[in-house]
Structure 1
């Protein structure tokens, strides 16, 4: 939940609860902003012509809207439902649910340690702008993450326990096959060097695994928090291995496999 005195920014996505639906407008409560309300004009409900607004929204419904304009002086927030696509809606709802969970966890920690929950929230907001990513950071980096927060040691221990018990870091895996062929008398050693170079130094949250599939094929498996990071590592690994083979005047190539979660 944002500070009650804050206002959302134009272009921001917000989670809202529909409170009242009229013929040409829906009035909503912004769930992430204390005491802030907004409206969705019928022209912003859906693309195309909307005959009955109630075909799209109803009282009590949770919706994700885009902020079109904010007028704090008049207390007006104009919102759009049609400007939010399915992907944005899913991501925003998940973020909102995660933030609710994180608030609850901070409440537990604050109660157990006799700490002001707002002090923990302010620390997390300063580092990440949100609460939940701080718990993810604690799971991934452990004590190194907690040191940066500069909180009391008993608070740190309680945060670590809560994070480890509740947060599951998303992981993705991508694989491919290195095809390494040597015609040299010392070909075995050349391939060994290539495979060593295919295991570059990686971050703690990344795993790289090489498996012998039968000459000349070697599987490369990379597990990381997201596809972007995994792709970068597997590209670096395969390029390094192929480089060793080519410098020895031998051949190497990399065959990608489909992504898997």
Structure 2
């Protein structure tokens, strides 16, 4: 994993590896930062009275801690284990694992293309980090195209190659919704109106599967949870609006797999 050259900030959550344990504190190294160490005072280990710190931690164990104070000059932080919010702890671990996914794509690119990893750190990683996360940028690139990399002034030589590896190896999770729609129109030109109504829905990039008159399945798949929520709201609003415009009678219900 790459090592950031900047410093964590107060109230940041950091991934640490325990290096030594004494009766007064626990010393750690910060996994995400270059040559950065941390100290957990004994009273910041737990809300309970602890006589033996090894009940909670051991040398080599990875833990998530909250930053209380930063000495950037000496690359040292004072951190807490007892003040860690469980939800934020889970979010930090999730973020770190995703960053490892992105880093491993670069590592694969380094090995397959015979490019020194130090070169990729200079030409790609530290043009993105710390302003953004590698995984976030890779995911945005996967969704919106290679032009995303141009914002970070990555040379064409590397952006073309990186884009190929992102598309082939990122494999982001997919999010989807599906609805069952029953729609019909009693007007003389009802068939035409239903077709136009469905075309409006399809124009939102919704996949429509005919299940037998007058029933259809509407499905949308994306790599972004926020996009999914936005598209679902947009689709339902459009159906309600266009049903009135075309005099469509409809019923719609969410399709849930067993």
SS at match of 1:170: coil
Which shifted more, 69-78 or 230-239?
Answer: 69-78
Label 1:247 to 1:139 Cα distance change in 2 as closer, same or farther (>3 A).
closer
CA RMSD of aligned residues (A): 3.1
1:21: how far off?
1.6
Question: TM-score with structure 2 length normalisation?
Answer: 0.81
* Counterpart for residue 144 of structure 1: 147
| Aligned match of 1:12 | 12
Q: Give yes or no for contact 1:179–1:253 (8 Å, CA) kept in 2.
A: yes
Aligned residue pairs: how many? 253
Matches within 5 A, 1:2-81: 2-4=3-5, 6-72=6-72, 76-81=76-81
From the superposition, tell whether residues 226 and 146 of structure 1 become closer, same or farther in structure 2 (CA, over 3 Å). Answer: closer
Superposed CA deviations along residues 182-209 of structure 1, whole A, max 9, x for unmatched, are 332322222222211112345xxxxx21
Contact 2:9 2:70 in 1 (8 A): yes
Q: How does 1:118-197 map to 2 (within 5 A)?
A: 118-125=122-129, 129-197=132-200
Q: Is 2:254 the partner of 1:251?
A: no
- Kindly state the Cα deviation for residue 245 of structure 1 after the two structures are TM-superposed: 1.7
* Partner of residue 235, structure 1: 233
* C-alpha deviation, 1:58, in angstroms: 0.7
Distance 1:33 1:159 in 2: 24
SS across alignment from 2:8? coil
Cα distance change on mapping 1:165 and 1:247 into 2, 3 Å: closer
Gaps of 5+ in 2: none
Contact 1:178 1:238 (C-alpha < 8 Å) held by counterparts: no
Alpha-carbon displacement from aligned partner over 1:46-79 (angstroms, at most 9, x marks no partner):
4545454222211001112121221335654121
Q: CA deviation at 1:221?
A: 0.6
* Equivalence for 2:201: 198
After TM superposition, give the deviation of residue 106 of structure 1 in Å.
Answer: 6.5
SS at match of 1:228: helix
How far off is 1:101 after superposition? 2.0
Is 1:194–1:242's contact at 8 Å kept on the other side of the alignment?
Answer: no
Q: 1:195 to 1:186 in 2, by over 3 A?
A: same
Q: Structure 1 length as normaliser, TM-score? A: 0.80
* Structure 1 portions without partners, runs of 5+: 203-207
Which residue is equivalent to 2:96? 93
Distance of aligned partners of 1:169 and 1:156 in 2 relative to their CA distance in 1, 3 Å threshold = same
Q: Are residues 24 and 93 of structure 1, via their aligned partners in 2, closer, same or farther at CA, if it must alter by over 3 Å?
A: farther
CA distance in 2, matches of 1:178, 1:156: 43
